[in-house]
């Protein structure tokens, strides 16, 4: 008995999957907050009533890097979308998601090379 199922894991297929995923995320981000081209997430520790609480600061920016005017629900929805669509990312670190390129990059501050 033979099956006609093939698992194509070629680089071209992987690239097509990434483009498709990027398109889906970009459309959904635009529905959440029109004009969103970048989402920045930064985990922060906040002290409330002598207790440490972990929160995430989220910024929605347009293609020029200017903040998008959006309410708290939109910021929360954008973060939730990225967490669901990119589950393998280490969300305990700062990130920037570029909806134009579909790239998620680490956004942790670094020391300038000349100071090392």
User: Helices (H) and strands (E) in the chain — how many of each?
Assistant: 2, 4
- Confidence grade of residue 6 (pLDDT, cut at 50, 70, 90): low
- Strands (E) located in the chain: 38-48, 51-61, 95-98, 103-106
Round the average pLDDT of the chain to a whole number and report it.
89
Q: Return the pLDDT at 53.
A: 87
Which has the higher per-residue pLDDT, 116 or 87?
87
Q: Is this model's pTM higher than 0.85 or not?
A: no
Judged against a pLDDT cut of 80, whether residue 94 lies above it is answered with yes
Tell me the pLDDT tens digit for each residue of 36-68: 999 999 999 888 888 888 899 999 999 999 999
Higher pLDDT, 4 or 7: 7
Per domain, the residue ranges of the chain are 14-105
Give the pLDDT confidence score for residue 8 in this predicted structure.
Answer: 58
User: CA–CA separation, 100 vs 88, rounded Å?
Assistant: 20
């Amino acid at each position: 008995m033979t099956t006609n199922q093939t698992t194509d894991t070629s680089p071209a297929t992987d690239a097509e999957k990434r483009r498709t995923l990027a398109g889906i995320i970009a459309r959904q981000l635009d529905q959440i907050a029109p004009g969103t081209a970048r989402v920045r997430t930064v985990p922060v520790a906040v002290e409330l009533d002598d207790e440490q609480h972990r929160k995430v600061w989220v910024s929605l920016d347009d293609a020029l890097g200017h903040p998008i005017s959006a309410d708290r629900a939109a910021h929360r929805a954008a973060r939730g979308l990225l967490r669901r669509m990119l589950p393998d990312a280490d969300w305990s670190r700062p990130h920037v998601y570029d909806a134009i390129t579909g790239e998620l990059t680490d956004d942790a501050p670094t020391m300038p090379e000349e100071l090392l």
